[in-house]
Amino acid sequence: MPVTKRKPATAAAVPNAANSRASKLARLGLHSDMDLVLHLPLRYEDETQVISIRQADLMGSSVAQVEGVVSACDIQYRPRRQLVVTIADDSGQLVMRFLNFYGSQTKQLAVGTRVRARGEIRHGFFGAEVVHPTYKVVLEGAPLPSALTPVYPSGEGLSQAYLRKSIADAMQRLQWRDTLSAEQLAALRLTPFEAAVRLLHNPPPEVDENALEDRSHPAWVRMKFDELLAQQLSLKRAQVARRAKNARALPQIGALSDAFLSRLPFALTAAQQRVLTEIRTDLRASFPMQRLLQGDVGSGKTVVAALAAAQAIDSGFQAVLMAPTEILADQHFRKIAAWMEPLGVTVAWLTGSLKKKEKIAAQALIESGQAQLVIGTHALIQDSVQFSRLGLVIVDEQHRFGVGQRLALRNKAATENGGADGESTLAMTSNFVPHQLMMSATPIPRTLAMTYYADLEISVIDELPPGRTPVVTRAVDQNRRDEVIARVHAAAQDGRQVYWVCPLIEESEALQLQTATDTYSMLAEALPDLRVGLVHGRLKQAEKQDVMDAFSRGEVQVLVATTVIEVGVDVPNASLMVIEHAERFGLSQLHQLRGRVGRGSAASVCLLLYQSPLGSIARQRLMTMRATTDGFEIARRDLEIRGPGEFLGARQSGQAMLRFADLTTDQWLVDQARDLAQTLLHDPAPASAATVEAHLARWLGGREDFLKV
Ligand code: ADP
Ligand code: MG
């Protein structure tokens, strides 16, 4: 039936506005009264005092609130369109500039209007000046607020005033209940829920502002504790739920595993051996493994993954390995196929750039079960790919995949067909979950991994294969580029190879490409006796492959590359890496890039070219890179510099569970929350079960599922 769109009646204008505000609230995740009540201030503004304009001017570039009457209000066009409003009090005048403004503001701020304005007041060319102050129109003698004014995390089109009102209304409607009992509160010395929340939204005048600011105030501690408790409860429950699921037990460590190990040209390091034992034990179980294999770049995760795959194959099941880029998938394919195919294993290869015919052939191999090992990119998660007997999923560089992508691959075992060998004629779908091994060279500090992933076992390779010499790292001002080029030349003369990484330009892919091409021409010209190659994300797969192959074979001596080479690429003869505009890269990215050298026995060097002057964060990063090659240490410092939210990125964490707690400072609370979670879950009393439910509902709402991936 066709749906006719009716024009809203004029009377509907108000409800529509309300609707759109509601949807803006929803975009912030604020659906219920409790959501609103738990939408806590980011910070506070002190609007309890007004000082004179002259006093503010003399204070010099600090935030202050003044009050005055508008004496002029014009739109000016120099240097660009802006609203310029002058206000005056008895002591002097202040120019307020608005670069973004609504036409209606000229009326609102008409000459003669009294306003209270707050912002960073500077002494400019024309006297006291402030850009984009917050302001409100007031009547003479209007009372000042007696408490600090909360500033909430907001979204586009949602004013602070509207948020404040919505939250205040929600606090009135809410049926206040503490999820913790009085005894529990007393034992943990925690503030009651309602008191804590009310204080944070409306701090009394005598509150310790510093404690609010750094979130050490008991009211904040209560919020952080609650949040951590919810997380710990959910983590423990996810663990229980996983253990209740079915997976194919992969008990055989047989002919393939043995032959594979005995043919390796090296012995496993003790750390590789240890994590392999952990994985092997998990794979024997009939509930799914969910394990993160962490190991610094070059620590040798691939061979461990291949041995896990060998166990699946020895046990009669398929294994799949997914990598985030074609270059990396291809490298895995070659390496692992070279190891496995001579031992009689059929390895299939599937990526987006395959021709249609090849794709269909690969899919047929996978679906029939003939392919025992499948290697590819995210092309593997398409619907048309069906497995016959999928036992193990391996995801390399897992932080590069979204939560949804990992989940899609895992779900492949549930949609597999009956199996070509007729073993399973029972059902077309199975309720088996494959074992999952995720690998990452971006080391996540243990506390973070534990608190951000609902349920994950962790194995760490904490040792590099023998014979590696640590990479020497230097920061070099880019005006010394000539010396750097001379160094590149010398390295090539010595039979070594060089990566030259192009600057990251996040705002524009086109510009990034341009820079890569320019850099390539510049180097090709400066080094006429060397072969210079160029690889970037826009090349066709075959072209990319040709360049990478030539580099692997040593025919290309200098590889100019964008960050497509960031992950995984393994060319042991490369021993010099130049990273241009290193100040634009994050720490973990620099660490990943640097990990491309120092893979062979030659002493390797990494030159971080930077443009001065350096900002303080960039300086800290470069200093960290110079100081250490230990990925875990780098991760720890990265966490300090950036904080956990950014550290993991939205892609990785799904929706980060922790809004208030800070793992760098609140570890003691994590421990307490973990203990209470343990107690609550093991207590058979119905009251405890009720507490668990109420607490999870309050803090996680619908978000829990996302974290089980
Ligand atoms: P990553 O952990 O960064 O994925 P790779 O698996 O690519 O590292 O391994 C890096 C290099 O080290 C590879 O060339 C690999 O063959 C080699 N390698 C792995 N394990 C050992 C070992 N135990 N002894 C010597 N070399 C090893
Ligand atoms: Mg790797």
Query: pLDDT digit string (tens) for 615-655?
Result: 888 898 999 999 988 887 887 777 676 654 444 433 333 33
User: Considering only CA atoms, which of 280, 298, 297, 302 is closest in space to residue 289?
Assistant: 280
Distances, alpha carbon 454 to alpha carbons 236, 332, 353, 653, 657, in Å: 8, 29, 34, 10, 10
**Could you give the 3-state DSSP secondary structure of residue 438?**
strand
Ligand 2 centroid–CA 272 distance in Å is 13
Three-state SS across 329-392? HHHHHHHHHHHHHHHCCCEEEECCCCCHHHHHHHHHHHHHCCCCEEEECHHHHCCCCCCCCEEE
Choice among 520-524, 608-612, 667-671 with the minimum mean pLDDT: 667-671
Considering every ligand atom shown, identify the ligand nearest to the alpha carbon of residue 571 and give its number: 1
Percent of the chain with pLDDT over 90: 50
Tell me: pLDDT of 542 over 70: yes
Ligand 1 pocket by Cβ (under 6 Å): 266, 268-269, 272, 295, 297-303, 441, 465, 570, 572, 599
- C-alpha distance from residue 340 to each of 114, 262, 347, 374, 619 (Å): 80, 12, 8, 12, 46
Q: Indicate the helix (H) or strand (E) that contains 302.
A: helix 301-314
Q: How far is CA 206 from CA 92, 130, 148, in A?
A: 32, 29, 10
- Report the pLDDT value the prediction gives residue 708, as an integer from 0 to 100: 44
> What value does the CA radius of gyration of the chain take, rounded to a whole number of Å?
30
pLDDT for 649 = 37
C-alpha triplet 593, 595, 597: angle, nearest 5° = 100
Nearest CA owner, ligand 1 atom 15:
300
CATH code, 255-461: 3.40.50.300
- Cβ-count burial 600-633 (b if 16+ within 10 Å, e if not): bebebbbbbbbeeebeeebebbbebbeebbebbe
Residue 656 has pLDDT above 70, yes or no: no
What is d(CA 649, CA 440) in angstroms, rounded to the nearest whole number?
Answer: 14
For residue 436, the surrounding DSSP H or E stretch is: strand 435-440
Ligand number with the minimum distance to the CA of 329: 2
Q: Is the pLDDT of residue 271 over 70?
A: yes
Checking if the pLDDT of 4 tops 80, the result is no
Q: Phi and psi dihedrals of 248, rounded to 5?
A: -75, 125
Looking at residue 594, its pLDDT comes to 92
Residue closest by Cα to atom 24 of ligand 1: 465
The pLDDT of residue 106 is above 70: yes
How large is the average pLDDT for residues 140-157?
85
Residues 541, 543, 544, 548: is their CA dihedral positive or negative? Answer: positive
Structural contact between residues 321 and 371, judged by C-beta atoms closer than 8 angstroms: no
Residues 179 and 118: their CA atoms lie apart, in Å, by 39
Angle between helix 644-653 and helix 631-642 axes, rounded to 10 deg: 100
Which class is domain 49-144?
mainly beta
Q: How far apart are CA 38 and CA 52, in angstroms?
A: 37
Dump pLDDT digits (tens) for 371-395: 999 999 989 988 788 999 999 999 9
* pLDDT tens for each residue of 550-600: 999 999 999 999 877 766 678 889 999 999 999 988 888 888 889 889 887
450 alpha carbon – ligand 1 mean position (Å): 26
Considering every ligand atom shown, identify the ligand nearest to the alpha carbon of residue 294 and give its number. 1
Query: Residue 184: its pLDDT value, please?
Result: 94
Among 570, 575, 588, 601, name the best residue to mutate to test ligand 1's pocket (greatest count of ligand atoms within 8 A of Cβ). Answer: 570
Helix 255-263 crosses helix 301-314 at what angle (to 10 degrees)?
150
Which numbered ligand comes closest to the C-alpha of 321?
2
Q: What is the dihedral of CA 479, 483, 485, 491, to 10 degrees?
A: -150
Q: Picking from 302-306, 402-406, 675-679, which range would have the lowest pLDDT averaged per residue?
A: 402-406
Residue 503, pLDDT > 80, answer yes
Q: Examine the pLDDT at 21 and tell me if it is beyond 80.
A: no
- Whether the per-residue pLDDT at 9 is higher than 60: the answer is no
Mean pLDDT of 89-112: 92
CA distance 600 to 266: 13
Ligand 2 centroid to Cα of residue 458, in Å, is 17
> Where are the domains positioned within the chain?
49-144, 255-461, 471-628
What is the Cα–Cα distance from 515 to 538, expressed in whole angstroms? 13
Calpha distance 509→67 (Å, rounded): 47
- Which ligand ends up closest to the CA of 596? 1
Q: What is the DSSP letter of 429?
A: S
Q: Does 678 have pLDDT greater than 60?
A: yes
- In the prediction, which pLDDT does 493 show? 94
Kindly give the number of the ligand 1 atom that is closest to the alpha carbon of 396.
Answer: 4
**Which contacts (CB < 8 Å, 24+ apart) does range 683-692 have?**
687/181, 691/179, 691/180, 691/181, 692/233
Nearest Cα residue to 115 out of 156, 147, 68, 157? 68
Residues surrounding ion ligand 2 at CB below 5 Å:
568
How far, in Å, is the centroid of ligand 1 from the Cα of 538? 29
Instruction: Compute the distance from residue 460 Cα to the ligand 2 centre, in Å.
Output: 14
The mean pLDDT of 25-35, rounded to a whole number, is: 85
Cβ atoms of residues 341 and 362 within 8 Å = no
CB-based contact 471:602 (threshold 8 Å):
no
pLDDT at 63 over 80: yes
Amino acid at 306: A
**How long a stretch of residues is the chain?**
709
**Amino acid 10: pLDDT:** 41
Q: Is 184 helix (H, G, I), strand (E, B) or coil?
A: helix
Going from the Cα of 507 to the center of ligand 2, the distance in angstroms, rounded, reads 28
Query: Exposed (0-12), middle (13-18) or buried (19+): which is 688, by Cβ within 10 Å?
Result: middle
CA of 300 to the centre of ligand 1 (A): 3
Q: Helix (H, G, I), strand (E, B), or coil: what is residue 27?
A: helix
User: What pLDDT sits at residue 409?
Assistant: 78
Strand partners, 607: 474, 578
| Distances 378 to 216, 318, 329, 390 between C-alpha atoms, Å | 44, 17, 10, 16
Ramachandran bin of 510, using left for φ above 0, alpha for ψ from -120 to 50, beta for the remaining angles: alpha
Say if strands 82-88 and 318-322 run parallel, antiparallel, or are unpaired. Answer: unpaired
Domains 49-144 and 471-628 share a fold: no
- The Cα-based distances of 131 to 17, 96, 399 in angstroms read 30, 6, 40
Atom of ligand 1 nearest to the CA of 467: 25
Choose one of 266, 268, 294, 439 to mutate for the ligand 1 pocket test, by most ligand atoms within 8 angstroms of C-beta: 266
Distance 589 CA to ligand 2 centre (A): 14
Whose Cα sits closest to atom 12 in ligand 1? 300
Q: How far is the CA of 618 from the centre of ligand 1 (A)?
A: 31
State the distance from the centre of ligand 1 to the C-alpha of 633, rounded, in angstroms. Answer: 21
Q: Which residue has the least CA distance to atom 10 on ligand 1?
A: 298
Residue nearest to atom 4 of ligand 1 (CA): 301
- On the question of pLDDT at 442 being above 70, the answer is no
Residue 51 has pLDDT above 50, yes or no: yes
What Å distances lie between residue 107 and 7, 83, 140, 238, 413, CA to CA?
31, 12, 19, 57, 64
User: Which pLDDT score, from 0 to 100, does residue 333 have?
Assistant: 92
Q: Tokens 């180097």: give the residue.
A: 523
Q: Which ligand 1 atom is nearest residue 268's CA?
A: 23
CA of 437 to the centre of ligand 2 (A): 13
Q: Which ligand sits nearest to residue 293's alpha carbon?
A: 1
Task: Please name which of 687, 674, 538, 561 lies closest in space to residue 181, comparing C-alpha atoms.
Answer: 687
pLDDT at 569: 75
The pLDDT-based confidence of 447 (bands split at 50, 70, 90) is low
Whose C-alpha lies nearest to ligand 1, atom 17?
Answer: 300
- Which of 264, 302, 304, 592 gets mutated to test ligand 1 (max ligand atoms within 8 A of its CB)? 302
* pLDDT classification of 422: cutoffs 50, 70, 90: very low
CA atoms within 13 A on the CB side of 243: 8
> E strands within 48-88?
62-76, 82-88
Residues 6+ apart with CB under 8 A from 702: none
Residues 193-230 have pLDDT tens digits of 999 999 999 998 788 988 998 899 999 999 999 999 98
Question: Do 375 and 392 form a contact (C-beta atoms < 8 A)?
Answer: no
Mean pLDDT of 404-411: 75
- Domain spanning 471-628 has what CATH number? 3.40.50.300
Nearest CA to ligand 1 atom 13: 300
pLDDT-derived band at 179 (thresholds 50, 70, 90) equals very high
Asked if pLDDT for residue 273 goes beyond 80, the answer is yes
Amino acid type, 141: G
Is it the case that residue 433 has pLDDT exceeding 70? yes
Residue 130: the pLDDT is 94
What pLDDT, on the 0 to 100 scale, is given for residue 451?
55
The strand pair at 373-376 and 532-535 is best described as: unpaired
Helix (H, G, I), strand (E, B) or coil at 680: helix
Residues whose CB is less than 8 angstroms from the CB of residue 687 and which lie 6 or more positions away in sequence, other chains included = 181
- Over pLDDT 70: what percentage of the chain? 88
User: Mutate which of 260, 275, 294, 299 to test ligand 1's pocket (most atoms within 8 Å of Cβ)?
Assistant: 299
Q: Whose C-alpha lies nearest to ligand 1, atom 20?
A: 300
Residue 6 has pLDDT above 50, yes or no: no
Average per-residue pLDDT for the chain: 85
pLDDT at site 425: 36
Amino acid identity for residue 406 in this structure:
R
Q: How far, in Å, from the CA of 304 to the mean position of ligand 1? A: 9
With CA atoms as reference, report the closest residue to 544 among 553, 555, 536, 554: 536
